[in-house]
Amino acid sequence: MMAGRTGPELVLFVDRIGCDGYGTCAELLPEMITLDEWGYPIMRRDPIPTHLLPYARKAVDSCPVLALRLADPGRVTIGVAPVRTPAVQPAAVGVRSRRDTKPLRTGR
């Protein structure tokens, strides 16, 4: 995923207030977006690899409520304290991070 990254770096930014959980974005860009159990997007925070940029643009254009954007990473985090991930130890209670779940379920 790190390969082939050139040009301006862009990240996905979702307007959480605007988002109504249609889920279109996750269908068009499963490499970067998964849905939580209520249908709201969980986005990867790293820059979009160049080869996925066209799909990211398509996802942005297809959002029914225009809640998805491509943004300069510096712009998204301006003035915001870094997100403090709560210090829980998932290993201790045997729960995988939801962000690790694959968007597509393979047969068992």
Partner 1 sequence: MNRRILAGPSLAGGAESLDAHRERLGPLPGRMDSRELIATLERSGLLGRGGAGFPVGRKWASVASRAEGQAVVLANGAEGEPLSAKDRILMATRPHLVLDGIELAAAAVGAHRIVVYVGSEHQDAKRAMSRAVAERRNARRGRRTAAGPGVGSGAGSAIPMRLIAAPVGYASGEESAAVHFVNEGDARPVTVPPRPYERGVAGRPTLVQNVESLANAALIARFGDAWYREAGLGETKGTALITVTGAPQSGLTEIELGTTIGEVARLCGIESPRPVMLGGYFGGWLAGEAAWPMALDPVSLRAAGSAFGAGVVSFLEPGACGVVTTARVMDFMAGSSAAQCGPCVFGLRAIADASARVARGRGRQDDTRRIVGWIESIAGRGACRLPDGTIGFMASALRVFRDEFDSHQNHRRCTAPHGEGRAA
Residues within the interface to partner 1 (CB under 8 A)? 15-21, 36-40, 42, 45, 75-76, 78-81, 83-88, 90, 93-95, 97-99
Is the CB of 1 or the CB of 65 nearer to partner 1? 65
Tokens of 91: 């290993």
Q: In angstroms, what is the minimal distance from the CB of 101 to partner 1? A: 10
SS3 state of residue 68: strand
Query: For residues 50 and 103, which CB has a smaller minimum distance to partner 1 in the complex?
Result: 103
In the DSSP assignment, the letter for residue 38 is: T
Evaluate whether 50 touches 4 at the Cβ level (below 8 Å): yes
Using CA atoms, how far apart are residues 103 and 26, in angstroms rounded to an integer?
8
Distance CA 57, CA 37 (A): 25
Q: Which is nearer to partner 1, 51 or 90 (CB)?
A: 90
CB of 25 to partner 1, least distance (A): 13
**From the CB of 75, what's the least distance to partner 1, in Å?**
7
C-beta of 57 vs 69, nearer to partner 1:
69
Give least dist CB 41 to partner 1, A.
8
CA dihedral 5, 35, 72, 19 (to 10 degrees): 150
